[in-house]
Amino acid sequence: MAGLKYIEGVATLRLDEEACTGCGMCREVCPHGVFGTEPGKARIENLDACMECGACALNCREGALSVSQGVGCARAIIHGWITGGPPSCDCGGDGGSTCC
């Protein structure tokens, strides 16, 4: 899936470099190759390729990654444009984390 990009600058993925131990799990589970690793640390290599699935954050033992799942998905972005609000899948619950 290399080379895929979503709308630029909307991904909510964040890396706490101080908490990261460089285990590489984020790189293993990311379907779009967003992460690279250097000795002892992960790094975000292509933020705009992030589809905000949340696999990296769910598998990070150190809690060094955070992402609002689904905020960058096309449905969420279009809903935000139509309503004039923030990106949201508008499926209720916790802000749309399960609909995209």
Give residue 93's pLDDT band: very low, low, confident or very high (50, 70, 90): very low
CATH of domain 14-83: 3.30.70.20
Write the Ramachandran bin of 60: left for phi over 0, alpha for psi from -120 to 50, otherwise beta. Answer: beta
* CA atoms of 4 and 33, how far apart (whole Å): 10
* CA atoms of 50 and 30, how far apart (whole Å): 8
For 21-73, how does the pLDDT look when each residue is reduced to its tens digit (9 = 90+)? 999 999 999 999 999 988 889 999 999 888 888 899 999 999 999 998 766 56
* CA atoms of 51 and 95, how far apart (whole Å): 16
